[in-house]
Structure 1
């Protein structure tokens, strides 16, 4: 069985190199994007009772629908890639978290509030915000 796996890996080395390259790219992108995104979150974002997701749909309904579809498709692709990276080289858990932020599903805002309310996560987010010179988040 191991010899068949080794033969398959040798025959598909381009796939491993591609996954490794994507993994490295995702790592670099997250190192750059996470501090920017965390700094742009309004300080009271998680303290609000609910999230208003209709803004883009109200301004341009067709464009809002297109953005919503593309965002969820990207989230789905990243979710599949993240699950694959749990057994392949890459940041599987980080990719899954990024995918979940892009996907729309019932209870998502409550899940995000619960995650952010954990002391280590809340402290890390506020540490990043402090380094970027923006006010701390209001605790959910």
Structure 2
């Protein structure tokens, strides 16, 4: 069994090195991007009385919405990967969910943000960009 694992590691050494490099890059990018992205979220985003409605008036808004959803999905996938590799997995998953549009999104956001540890972490990252903490 150990010989089998050794042979796999030797055979796929290049792939393992590439995965390590990609993992390190994702980690560095997430460390740099998370506070900036959280700083872009309005302070009252999690206020329960704030309505959330999307209005698409032209093709450019639709294109931007698609790009935003793709970026959110990418962050979601990166967050799932970062759960097992170094990085801010939970925060990346949350940001990915916040960027995407899907039915039940608002309810899910409230459930996630009501976790005190998550809320404190988001506000701590937000403070790194000198932004006020989120309101609940």
TM-score by length of 1: 0.69
After superposition, what is the alpha-carbon deviation per residue over 1:69-100, rounded to whole angstroms, capped at 9, x for unaligned? 4554555566556556656x444834555544
Aligned to 2:15: 15
After superposition, what is the alpha-carbon deviation per residue over 1:46-66, rounded to whole angstroms, capped at 9, x for unaligned? 114442333xx32x32x4444
Structure with more of its chain in helix, by fraction: 1
Structure-2 separation of matches of 1:41 and 1:85: 22
Residue ranges of structure 2 left out of the alignment (5+ in a row)? none
Structure-2 separation of matches of 1:26 and 1:39: 20
Aligned to 1:115: 112
Say how many residue pairs are matched: 134
Aligned to 2:135: 138
Moved more, 24-33 or 127-136: 127-136
Structure-2 separation of matches of 1:43 and 1:83: 26
Structure-1 separation of matches of 2:79 and 2:11: 23
Structure-1 separation of matches of 2:35 and 2:119: 14
1:105 to 102, 105, 108: 102
1:93 to 81, 89, 101: 89
Aligned to 2:42: 42
Moved more, 28-37 or 107-116: 107-116
CA shift in 2, pair 1:100/1:21, >3 Å:
farther
TM-score by length of 2: 0.71
